[in-house]
Amino acid sequence: MFNYLRQRFTSHIRERSRRRARLVSKDGRCNIEFGNVEQSRFVFLIDIWTTILDLRWRYKMTIFISAFLGSWFLFGLLWYVVAYIHKDLPEFNPSINHTPCVENINGLTSAFLFSLETQVTIGYGFRCVTEQCATAIFLLIFQSILGVIINSFMCGAILAKISRSKNRAKTITFSKNAVISKRGGKLCLLIRVANLRKSLLIGSHIYGKLLKTTITPEGETIILDQVNIEFVVDAGNENLFFISPLTIYHIIDKNSPFFHMAAETILQQDFELVVFLDGTVEATSATCQVRTSYIPEEVLWGYRFAPIVSKTKEGKYRVDFQNFSKTVAVETPHCAFCLYNQKEAKAKEKKGYDNPGFVLEVSETSDTKM
């Protein structure tokens, strides 16, 4: 038992040491940190709307509660000051004919309750402003306007965060692994993507970026150098009919960065393939983007995806998501260069000669005389 636990612990440590840092996580979050930013953090307050929307829910709710409690308590103090200056409080022993600015304010607690009733327009009718002093009327108008502004901003921020297209992107899923196999006689890198909702994404467009470290001829090292990766489906890579899972593929030709990789060397490569899916939400007409990434350990050479779409007896199409990321081993060339050499060799065999530099041309002449 001890040896088994030790082996598991050793394999776990070895796996963690081999784990590569990724810029984009599987769920699309970016793993990047900004340091030594010269601009002040107050610049984020200029675009306060975006700052509030980008906050996590716990911080947003803290600001939401603090804004209301703070405004209620602040105006409660102001109402208490008005009652204190006008000598409406019981400690001043007002006369029977005395008309207070606000009726039934007897202390700080009652002033806070009146501030709460005023700002949220509860209106119990027990405490109310009289026409005795203009200061109280002005304070009532100012608090009412400020309360409407706070309500509009906070409710709008919460509604906007709930309805953000980022939440719609969570119902788009990619396969756990990417595979490399032959498709249509060409070596391709394939990825499966599915829409978990029946509502479509309008004008969907899918593309990829290969991130790797490159060294220029001048000796400059570029970290996270980006190379465009074109993905297509059988109907093109734009305006996808995204009602069922699609298998997108990248053709590994001579212009592809995967052309010089092989099944034996792909695990030694240092790259990260980031896949993007852009589209417009049908229900809200808001644009959204879905992201995921694949590192060399998640690219399986010599596999294809298992079929998941079938037809029932009732004539309906059924998608089995149990096989969504399931792969099946298939016969695949161990490199794209070998596949293209094999095709060129077969093409030469059809021409009837092996050496393209050795071609015997025979010109027929006729010696027959009439």
Question: 207-264: per-residue pLDDT in tens?
Answer: 999 998 888 888 888 888 888 999 888 655 556 777 788 888 999 988 898 988 888 8
Last residue of a domain, which of 115, 144, 163? 163
Does any domain span residue 71? yes
319 in a structural domain: yes
- 253 domain-assigned: yes
Give residue-wise pLDDT tens across range 48-98.
888 888 888 899 899 999 999 999 999 999 999 999 998 888 888 888 888
User: Within this chain, do residues 211 and 153 fall inside the same structural domain, yes or no?
Assistant: no
Q: Quote the pLDDT of residue 37.
A: 67
352 or 256: which leads in pLDDT: 256
Residue 370 has a pLDDT of 38
Q: How many CB atoms lie within 10 A of CB 213?
A: 11
Is pLDDT above 90 for 191? yes
Amino acid 66: pLDDT: 93
In a domain, 108, yes or no: yes
Shared-domain flag, residues 268 and 312:
yes
Under 8 Å between Cβ of 287 and 280: yes
| Residue at a domain's end among 132, 163, 194 | 163
Mean confidence (pLDDT) of the chain: 81
pLDDT at 234: 65
Lowest mean pLDDT among 27-36, 124-133, 210-219, 235-244: 235-244
Q: Is residue 139 part of a domain?
A: yes
Please check whether residues 207 and 331 belong to one and the same domain. Answer: yes
274, 340: one domain: yes
Q: Where would I find the H helices in the chain?
A: 2-18, 43-46, 48-54, 57-85, 108-119, 134-162, 165-169, 336-351
**Residue 280 located in a structural domain:** yes
d(CA 90, CA 84): 10
Residues with Cβ within 8 Å of 257's Cβ and at least 6 positions away in sequence, in order, are 210, 212, 227, 229, 271
Q: Which domain holds residue 307?
A: 168-350
Q: Mean pLDDT throughout 305-321?
A: 85
The CATH number given to whatever domain includes residue 196 is 2.60.40.1400
Residues 339 and 264 in one domain: yes
Q: Is residue 269 part of a domain?
A: yes
Same domain, 136 and 173: no
- Tally of domains in the chain: 2
